[in-house]
């Protein structure tokens, strides 16, 4: 971890949580950048359902987390953070070949509470710990997760830089070439960065991601859980190209909103001055349940070494169309559909419960 001696006390409406003060030196000044998710990974990190998960989730959540870990483990090493109380359960469910790291952890959403990994040109690893406040102080039971990122970084052998920005890892997508895409509804929300200007938030993102261009799209304030995370809207396929999920049903309540957001991304330019090529992915027409907040989103997927894990929802036509769209976008990778209904019922998807650690070697320039 970074050696900043000072600390700040973040006072939530429920109880105080002591956090490290922001690092004096942003990692970008040392040459660190966040690679694109489509670049090679050293391993994948996940979190086993902890006490908070078990308050809201169905028992099948354990099976779904294990299924994602095993599916990912076919393509790259996987480590799962497990609260000591659940070690035996995790070991039995995950089976051989999946690493277990014992750490205090509340919930499964490691994309948001865990570290964002960075790399510098020689291949050295580092991590950014965002100031995670439980999605705008909406929920109890996240004291361990608010302090999780530096512990995971230490387990990965990565120095950890504490960022001044309050956000979550699922609120940003990078292209690995200097561009980060975020939503106004999440990053500029008063429940995360009150009093900070857009320019101040951009400076924090660029300094702790190694990016130089922040692309803003409006986002979705109706999303009562994440306030419109970008990983519920799009993913980068490669530098300069993205998949964006929209509905093809004019009666869909988000039909116009999603197309307006996709258009905002199409009109943006990235850090290299390119217009971003936006492929439209059709949202499922039918979902397996009507749970409020159900994350019925194909683009909340995970890009792995040689594969992409995508959700399936039991709508045969929509699932087949999504599989074909992903296969066209990633012709050299296997597309692996998984049913993750219990995870989706919690308001997240496959991307939300995973976090990639980049490989030491950078991808060839394109």
264-293 pLDDT, tens digit per residue, is 999 999 999 999 999 999 999 989 876 778
Give the C-alpha separation, 128 to 150, whole Å. 8
Question: Taking all residues of the chain, what is their mean pLDDT, rounded to a whole number?
Answer: 92
Specify the pLDDT at position 283: 95
Q: What are the tokens at 101?
A: 């790291």
Question: What proportion of the chain, given as a percentage, has pLDDT over 70?
Answer: 93
CA distances from 299 to 196, 230, 325 (A): 30, 10, 11
Specify the pLDDT at position 18: 53
State the DSSP H helix or E strand holding residue 44, giving kind and residue range, or none if neither.
Answer: strand 41-47
Specify the pLDDT at position 24: 78
Hey, is 46 helix, strand or coil? Answer: strand
Tell me how far apart the terminal alpha carbons of the chain are, to the nearest angstrom.
33
Asked if 303 and 235 touch (Cβ cutoff 8 Å), the reply is yes
351-360 pLDDT, tens digit per residue, is 999 999 999 9
By 3-state DSSP, what share of the chain in percent is helix, strand and coil, each rounded to 5?
Answer: 30, 25, 45
pLDDT band at 1 (very low <50, low <70, confident <90, very high): very low
Q: Could you give phi then psi for residue 183, rounded to 5 degrees? A: -110, 145
pLDDT band at 9 (very low <50, low <70, confident <90, very high): very low
Give the C-alpha separation, 99 to 91, whole Å. 9
Nearest to 339 by CA among 319, 366, 356, 364: 319
The answer to whether 352 is a known catalytic residue is: yes
Name, in order, each residue with C-beta under 8 angstroms of 356's C-beta and a sequence gap of 6 or more: 37, 41, 43, 44, 45, 117, 302, 303, 304
Hey, is 327 helix, strand or coil? Answer: helix
Question: What proportion of the chain, given as a percentage, has pLDDT over 90?
Answer: 86
Give the C-alpha separation, 175 to 38, whole Å. 9
Specify the pLDDT at position 269: 97
Provide mean pLDDT across the span 13-38: 80
201-243 pLDDT, tens digit per residue, is 999 999 999 999 999 999 987 788 999 999 999 999 999 999 9
Specify the pLDDT at position 205: 98
**Which of these ranges, 1-15, 56-70, 322-336, has the smallest mean pLDDT?**
1-15
Whether the pLDDT of residue 10 is over 60: the answer is: no
90-107 pLDDT, tens digit per residue, is 999 999 999 999 999 999
Sign of CA dihedral 303, 307, 311, 316: positive
Residue 302, beta-bridge partner list: 309
Give the C-alpha separation, 4 to 7, whole Å. 8
State the DSSP H helix or E strand holding residue 62, giving kind and residue range, or none if neither.
Answer: helix 61-73
Nearest to 34 by CA among 178, 200, 162: 178
Name, in order, each residue with C-beta under 8 angstroms of 208's C-beta and a sequence gap of 6 or more: 26, 27, 28, 116, 128, 130, 161, 163, 164, 165
Give the C-alpha separation, 121 to 362, whole Å. 8
Catalytic residue among 160, 301, 344, 352: 352
118-174 pLDDT, tens digit per residue, is 999 999 999 999 999 999 999 999 999 999 999 999 999 999 999 999 999 999 999
Residue 22, Ramachandran bin (φ over 0: left; ψ between -120 and 50: alpha; else beta): beta
Beta-carbon neighbour count of residue 161 at 10 Å? 29
Nearest to 160 by CA among 180, 135, 131, 134: 131
Give the C-alpha separation, 326 to 298, whole Å. 9
Write the class of the CATH domain 35-358. alpha beta
291-317 pLDDT, tens digit per residue, is 778 999 999 999 999 999 999 999 999
Specify the pLDDT at position 13: 41
Whether the pLDDT of residue 12 is over 50: the answer is: no
Hey, is 40 helix, strand or coil? Answer: coil
């Amino acid at each position: 971890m970074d050696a900043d001696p000072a600390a700040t006390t973040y006072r939530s409406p429920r109880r105080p949580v002591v956090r490290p003060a922001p690092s004096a030196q942003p990692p970008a000044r040392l040459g660190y950048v966040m690679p694109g998710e489509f670049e090679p990974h050293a391993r994948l990190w996940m979190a086993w359902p902890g006490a908070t998960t078990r308050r809201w989730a169905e028992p099948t959540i354990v099976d779904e987390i294990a299924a994602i870990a095993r599916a990912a483990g076919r393509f790259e090493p996987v480590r799962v953070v497990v609260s000591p109380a659940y070690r035996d359960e995790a070991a039995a469910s995950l089976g051989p070949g999946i690493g277990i790291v014992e750490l205090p952890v509340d919930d499964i959403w490691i994309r948001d509470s865990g570290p964002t990994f960075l790399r510098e040109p020689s291949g050295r690893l580092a991590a950014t710990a965002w100031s995670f406040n439980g999605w705008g102080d909406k929920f109890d039971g996240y004291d361990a997760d608010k302090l999780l990122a530096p512990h995971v970084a230490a387990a990965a052998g990565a120095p950890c830089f504490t960022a001044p920005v309050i956000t979550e890892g699922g609120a940003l997508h990078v292209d690995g070439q200097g561009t980060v895409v975020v939503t106004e509804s999440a990053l500029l929300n008063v429940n995360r960065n009150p009093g900070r200007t857009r320019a101040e938030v951009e400076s924090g993102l660029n300094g702790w991601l190694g990016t130089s261009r922040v692309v803003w799209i409006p986002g979705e304030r109706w999303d009562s859980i994440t306030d419109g995370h970008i990983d519920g809207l799009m993913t980068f396929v490669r530098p300069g190209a993205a998949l964006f999920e929209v509905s093809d049903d004019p009666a869909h309540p988000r039909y116009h909103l999603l197309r307006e957001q996709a258009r905002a991304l199409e009109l943006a330019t990235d850090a290299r001055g390119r217009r971003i090529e936006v492929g439209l992915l059709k949202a499922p027409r039918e979902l397996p349940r009507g749970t409020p907040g159900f994350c019925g989103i194909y683009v909340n997927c995970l890009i792995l070494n040689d594969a992409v894990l995508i959700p399936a929802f039991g709508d045969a036509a929509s699932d087949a169309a999504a599989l074909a769209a992903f296969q066209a976008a990633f012709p050299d990778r296997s597309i692996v559909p998984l049913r993750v209904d219990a995870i989706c019922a919690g308001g997240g998807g496959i991307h939300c419960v995973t976090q990639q650690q980049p490989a030491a070697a950078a991808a060839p320039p394109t």
